[in-house]
Structure 1
């Protein structure tokens, strides 16, 4: 059980250390990709540029119904831009295809006479009128590299029309070639430098320049500004290869309201629709999440001919088709800030907190393992374990003899001599094994009725019983002189004639009575 516990501690320690290294180096890079469950909805509304919150009509749009009237007109309006971006096929571990549907809706309008109205939108399968509440609608699809978030060219198309009955998406879409810029999300680890940002209105990449930092809802962001240059929208073909509807208007000069030298009221004047914009995006730099967006959009009609051959009144003419500043509403900003913070927390746990916890746990497990091993070895060297590990070593109490020593090493065996008056007793029956007494190391064990196995040293003491009955010291012998009770202290001397000491009534050898 003890060995199993030590092995478990060592295993857990090493496993935690390995995991602490693997999580930031293996798991975190797999978190820093475009998620396949991406679903972003952003809502932006037009706001007054002068800060006048009482202005309910901060934008300007072209009155489409004026095409059938005697004079071109514009309307004051309040607009809402809504965009939803989701992941669609083809998407896999390497790429994600983003589909983003965007609409611009007219919430309310006011004409030059001050009349207000709230336009409504017809159903998608119904014919739309000139005063319909839907101003514009597109569907953008783009495949991006999941690691860099940059377009990879696999899918890049813009749907401008509803799909015809029995048709497909490609028939209602145009290809967007050479697309490079970010749009719905920046890449990870954004730097303070320039990036390409794609504009679907003008179908081109604009340079987004870093201008500073700003904290929005507790999230630090980098502020980028992209200036979209003026673009003639009539040069951007529709799926059929023609100029999109409403980008070229041929109307009399009086309809346009153009007056001046070289211009007659009924002269047909051709105007193209142009667009430009200034887009502000606030990006959380670690995850590339766009937390806040604001853009100044401007579309207008003007003459494509700016040469000296064209009358000045025509060259200088401008009429707004769409003008307004769109800002994300508070709900969108709050949602995006929470999304960015959630991504940051995941990366923080995976890249910092979890490795630290695993590293500390691994170190504690290994320290516990080392301490237990050290304590076990130390207890093995102590007195309690000495008798178990080295039973053959002497201890102070046993006089130099270990408890584990064999009986032969602790006793002296003296066999009964053969022959003589006691030969009727066999050696096996008369041999006596006496354990050596620890307190008296010099005491010897003597076989019953036998001779001493070795000469006695003068310094040694002999432990014998009382003298055998009928025996007395032999006069003149060493035993008698030394006071020994036995006449045969020296085993090298010849055996005495015991018959001399036998009494007449002792008729059996080896037996005597007093």
Structure 2
């Protein structure tokens, strides 16, 4: 006999299947989804501004024959970072256009330094791929120069750790460790503080620029020797501090203690070219913090919220399906076919009469009548 397949059984199967699917989603999203999300965005765009007062060499006075250093000069360093091609699922090219200006002078007379830096990085690790090789352009009328590199620059990796990372310095064009200092808090966000110290670098060996090594009369330099020519080298040092939101790798705050100077001995600065401590301004810090919060929210949504909800709903659906399936199985009744006596005529008992007990007919030809003669069951005689 066929069994009845009711709506409850179909619903139970649907619930079990849905529950299994949701549990699979809860397991797979934190691994597969996070690997897709934890990458440097392809639409990266950020502007950071640092302001301070510092000491600056007056280049016009130097050309006129006197090394004059202006103090307490208002300075603004601006960095505009965007994502460029080549870019795909694995890599992205970051371009940084950076300027340093003295705001007490207008136009080109106030521009102290400017460069455009391009580097292609792995979107997960933030490390350069050198495919293509990064470039640095320091003069508008000159082509960019290829500069290979092997350290972080504009972003840290997702889930940054409390350890030292290699960090590339654009001015020195060298890589050295940026070391973990402490865990602290900025604008309500947990951040990791890293510090890098750049020891004096001979800039004449970094870039072939005429201002990186100058020969001028001693009087012009303001040192003993009268009119005797004195050759001085331009040196560069820096103490860099960055505060990184570790989940996203976003720099919430940055600060550089820059010192460029002319000297005959790197350990004895003689004429300052630039000396200033340049921290991010408050607007930049808040903007960077907001960018980090957005990234944290997305990571939390994919890595925690959705898997938890999917897991809970999956368990509920699975249990409901199993319970409904078991209850439906106990209540199933056999389906009746056309040959069954349904409902039974004897109040519930089903009697299969032997055809031998069925009454037969006998015809009386003398009276032309037919009468029924019951056939006796032979078993009754046996019982006697």
Q: Does 1:349 align with 2:344?
A: no
CA offsets, 1:275-317, max 9 Å, x none? 000000111112211111011000111015x8xxxxxxxx956
Taking the aligned partners of 1:276 and 1:317, their CA distance within structure 2 comes to: 11
CA shift in 2, pair 1:96/1:401, >3 Å:
same
Which of 396, 401, 404 pairs up with 2:349?
401
1:218, CA displacement in angstroms? Answer: 1.3
2:285 — aligned with what? 333
Taking the aligned partners of 1:316 and 1:100, their CA distance within structure 2 comes to: 33
2:146 — aligned with what? 175
**Matched residue SS, 1:266:** coil
2:211 — aligned with what? 246
1:120 — aligned with what? 106
Taking the aligned partners of 1:456 and 1:176, their CA distance within structure 2 comes to: 114
Q: Which has the larger radius of gyration?
A: 1
1:330, CA displacement in angstroms? Answer: 1.0
Which range is displaced more, 349-358 or 324-333? 349-358
Taking the aligned partners of 1:411 and 1:3, their CA distance within structure 2 comes to: 46
CA offsets, 1:362-395, max 9 Å, x none? 1111111112112212223xxxx58969x97999
- RMSD after superposition: 2.9
CA shift in 2, pair 1:413/1:75, >3 Å:
same
**Matched residue SS, 1:231:** strand
Q: Does 1:85 align with 2:8?
A: no
TM-score by length of 1: 0.67
2:167 — aligned with what? 197
1:111 — aligned with what? none
Taking the aligned partners of 1:455 and 1:91, their CA distance within structure 2 comes to: 101
1:410, CA displacement in angstroms? Answer: 10
CA offsets, 1:167-192, max 9 Å, x none? xxxx5212213x11111001122111
1:396, CA displacement in angstroms? Answer: 12
Taking the aligned partners of 1:6 and 1:200, their CA distance within structure 2 comes to: 64
Taking the aligned partners of 2:283 and 2:348, their CA distance within structure 1 comes to: 92
**Matched residue SS, 1:297:** strand
CA shift in 2, pair 1:454/1:317, >3 Å:
closer
Q: Does 1:158 align with 2:129?
A: no
Which aligned pairs between 1:226-265 and structure 2 lie closer than 5 A? 226-237=196-207, 243-259=208-224, 264-265=225-226
CA offsets, 1:185-204, max 9 Å, x none? 01122111111111111111
Taking the aligned partners of 1:35 and 1:226, their CA distance within structure 2 comes to: 26
CA shift in 2, pair 1:412/1:136, >3 Å:
same
Contact 2:117/2:137 (<8 A) preserved = yes
Taking the aligned partners of 1:11 and 1:415, their CA distance within structure 2 comes to: 63
CA shift in 2, pair 1:409/1:72, >3 Å:
farther
Contact 1:414/1:453 (<8 A) preserved = no
Taking the aligned partners of 1:152 and 1:412, their CA distance within structure 2 comes to: 100
Taking the aligned partners of 2:286 and 2:327, their CA distance within structure 1 comes to: 58
CA shift in 2, pair 1:411/1:223, >3 Å:
farther
CA offsets, 1:120-140, max 9 Å, x none? 114xxxxxxxxx111111000
Q: Does 1:417 align with 2:362?
A: yes
Taking the aligned partners of 1:253 and 1:206, their CA distance within structure 2 comes to: 36
Q: Does 1:219 align with 2:189?
A: yes
CA offsets, 1:305-364, max 9 Å, x none? x8xxxxxxxx95611110000010111111111111211221122112211111111111
Contact 2:13/2:325 (<8 A) preserved = no
Which aligned pairs between 1:134-153 and structure 2 lie closer than 5 A? 134-153=111-130
TM-score by length of 2: 0.88
Which of 273, 276, 286 pairs up with 1:321?
273
1:412, CA displacement in angstroms? Answer: 5.1
**Matched residue SS, 1:139:** strand
**Matched residue SS, 1:152:** coil
1:94 — aligned with what? 90
Taking the aligned partners of 2:121 and 2:187, their CA distance within structure 1 comes to: 28
User: Which consecutive residues of structure 1, in runs of 5 or more, have no partner in the other structure?
Assistant: 47-57, 109-118, 123-131, 165-170, 238-242, 307-314, 431-446, 459-514
Taking the aligned partners of 2:374 and 2:31, their CA distance within structure 1 comes to: 89
CA shift in 2, pair 1:363/1:93, >3 Å:
same
Which of 235, 256, 260 pairs up with 1:274?
235
How many residues were matched structurally?
372
Taking the aligned partners of 1:41 and 1:365, their CA distance within structure 2 comes to: 48
Taking the aligned partners of 1:370 and 1:316, their CA distance within structure 2 comes to: 82
CA shift in 2, pair 1:81/1:457, >3 Å:
same
CA shift in 2, pair 1:61/1:455, >3 Å:
closer
Higher relative contact order (CA closer than 8 Å, sequence separation 6+): 2
CA offsets, 1:106-132, max 9 Å, x none? 112xxxxxxxxxx1114xxxxxxxxx1
1:2, CA displacement in angstroms? Answer: 4.0
Contact 1:189/1:286 (<8 A) preserved = yes
